[in-house]
Structure 1
Amino acid sequence: MSVSGDKIRQRYDRLAPWFDSLEGFLEGLLFRRLRKKLWAMAEGEHILEVGVGTGKNFDFYPADSQMTAIDFSPKMLVQAKRKQERKQIKVHLDLMDVQTLCYADNSFDTVVASFVFCSVPQPRKGLKELYRVLKPGGQLLLLEHVLSSNKYMAAMMNLLNPLVVRLVGANINRQTVKNVQACSFRSIFIDPSSSDMLKLMRAVK
C-alpha cells in the first residue's frame, strides 16, 4: 500500500511516547534476542543505524565504533535522546530520511536497520541509498518482518495490510529479501535460523 512519507511520519510521531510499551511483550519474548544476534555481526570504525526509533538497540552498540543513528520521526528522536542521556550512549543522532541520506558516498563500514523497511514508502530507493553510503566491502545488516511464503497467510496479510498501515504506518506484506536482491550487493546471506516472516539478512557491497 502506497502512503506518503509525511503520513507515516505523523503516525510514528503520534505513537512515539507509547512505542516501547506497545511492543514490550514481543520485545522481551523475541525481538531483543534477534537484535542482539544482528548487532553481534556489526563491525568497523564507522557504523550507521537507520531507524533508531526510541533507541531499542542502544544496549547492543559496539563499544569501539563511532556510532551515528538516524530517524525520520522527530518525536521518536526525542525519545531516543532521552534514552541516550539516561544510558550515557555515545552516538550522534540525526533527523533524516533513509530515502535521501545527507552522507557522502562510501562513508560507513556497517549499516544496521531493524524493522525499518516496512515503513519506508520507496524501500528500494532507501536500500540503494544505503548501498551508496557503504564503503566497498561494507555490510548492510537487516532484521525485517516480511510477507509469508504460505499463500493462505500471505493472502490474509495482504488483506489486513491497509488497516495496519492506517493505524501504525507499517506494511506487513513487504518482500524485503527481493528488494535487497534487486540492489547491487555483491553477496546476500539469509540467516538459516530466520523464520518464515522474520528475516535476518547480511548484504555485502
Structure 2
Amino acid sequence: MREETLDLLCDPETSSPLILQENEDGSQVLAGSNTTYPIRDGVADFLHQKPVTGINKRYQMMYDHLSPFYNFVTRAAIRLMQADEDDVRREYLCELEIKPGDRVLEVSVGTGTNLRLLPRDARYYGLDISPGQLRQCKKLLKKIGLEAELFLGAAESLPFYDNSFDVVFHMGGINFFGDPDLALREMYRVAKPGTKIVVVDETDRFTKKLAKIPIVQNFFKSDSDVNVPDPLVPQKAEDIQVKELFDGRLWYLSFRKAQTKVKPATVSTALLKRRALQRV
C-alpha cells in the first residue's frame, strides 16, 4: 500500500487515522486506536468489523457467486440489446473530468471494466462490497498493466477523509443499495470542493427489458422501480444535471461539490496524527 494511500484512509466508524502494521505471521492490518482492519491479498477489508446486512448482504452474495462469469454476463446482455459494451461505457466515462495526476475513486468498482477505458496518467482507487468482484478486478488490472488501490467496503461508509478525491463516480446498482441517500452523501463528503460527482444506472424501462433475459434477470429483481435519485443529492451540491444516455438505456446524474473555503488540508493533519500513533 502506497504512503499516499495511507494518508487518505481513516477508520470509517470514527474517522480516526490508521497505521499499517505487520503481525507475527507476516500478515498486515490497518490499525486504529480501537480496532484493526485486515489486508488480504493487497485489499484492505473494511467490512471485517461490521459485516453487511439486509439488501446489501443479498447483493454481496449474488455478486460473489457470479463474479467469475460477471463480465461475460454483462457483455452478453448488452449484445442482446444490440449495443457494444465499450460504446455504452464511454457514454458516461467521457463525462468524467480526469486530469493527469488526479485521484479518481470508483464506488462499486466491480470487476474494473470501467478502469480499463480511462486515462493511464491518473491515480485510481476502487471500493466494492463483493470480495469476488474485487478478485476479478485485481486479475484485470494485472492483465492490462494498470495500478489501482482496492478496498472491500460499503458505499454508505467510505473509509476516506473528507475532500480526498478529484473525481468520484459510480455506475450501476445505487437503487439497490441499503441506503442510497447515505451513499450519495458519502461520495459528496470524500470529493474535493468543485469536484464533479457522476452516478449512472440503467433506466427503469431498460432494466425491465433486461429482466426478461434469464441469464441476467436476478440482477434486477426489485419491488420498486429504478429511478434517478436526484431528490437525494446533498442540498449544498451545485450544477445538478439529469439526462438519459445511449438511446434511453441509461440515466445519468451529476452534481458538483460546492466551492467553499476548506480548512487546512485534512490529509496533512491526518499524517501528523498517524505518525504520532506510530511513535506510541
TM range (shorter): 0.7 to 0.9
> Is residue 2:90 matched to residue 1:36?
yes
Amino acid at match of 2:168: V
Is the 8 Å Cα contact of residues 138 and 204 (structure 1) preserved in structure 2? Answer: yes
Larger RCO, structures 1/2 (Cα 8 Å, 6+ apart): 1
> Is residue 2:71 matched to residue 1:16?
no
Q: Normalising to structure 1: TM-score of the pair?
A: 0.81
C-alpha displacement at 1:196, in angstroms?
4.3
Distance 2:125 2:59 in 1: 23
- Greater mean alpha carbon deviation, residues 108-117 or residues 139-148: 139-148
Q: How many pairs were matched up? A: 195
C-alpha displacement at 1:113, in angstroms?
1.2
Partner of 2:255: 203
The CA RMSD over aligned residues, in Å, is: 3.1
Distance 1:178 1:190 in 2: 8
C-alpha displacement at 1:169, in angstroms?
6.8
> Is residue 2:241 matched to residue 1:189?
yes
Aligned residue for 2:194, secondary structure, equals strand
> Is residue 2:181 matched to residue 1:129?
no
Residues 174-185 of structure 1 aligned to structure 2 (within 5 Å): 174-181=226-233, 183-185=235-237
What 5-or-longer segments of structure 2 have no aligned partner? 1-52, 258-280
Aligned residue for 1:82, secondary structure, equals helix
Q: Normalising to structure 2: TM-score of the pair?
A: 0.61
Q: Deviations over 1:43-86 (max 9, x none)?
A: 24111011111111122222221111111100110111111111
Is the 8 Å Cα contact of residues 124 and 148 (structure 2) preserved in structure 1? Answer: yes
Partner of 2:268: none
Is the 8 Å Cα contact of residues 184 and 232 (structure 2) preserved in structure 1? Answer: yes
Is the 8 Å Cα contact of residues 127 and 151 (structure 2) preserved in structure 1? Answer: yes
Distance 1:9 1:192 in 2: 28
- Greater mean alpha carbon deviation, residues 128-137 or residues 139-148: 139-148
CA, structure 1 residues 16+193, in 2 after alignment: closer, same or farther (shift >3 Å)?
closer
- Greater mean alpha carbon deviation, residues 101-110 or residues 43-52: 43-52
> Is residue 2:165 matched to residue 1:114?
no
Amino acid at match of 1:78: R
CA, structure 1 residues 15+185, in 2 after alignment: closer, same or farther (shift >3 Å)?
same
Q: Percent identity?
A: 22
Larger-Rg structure: 2
Amino acid at match of 2:230: K
CA, structure 1 residues 24+196, in 2 after alignment: closer, same or farther (shift >3 Å)?
closer
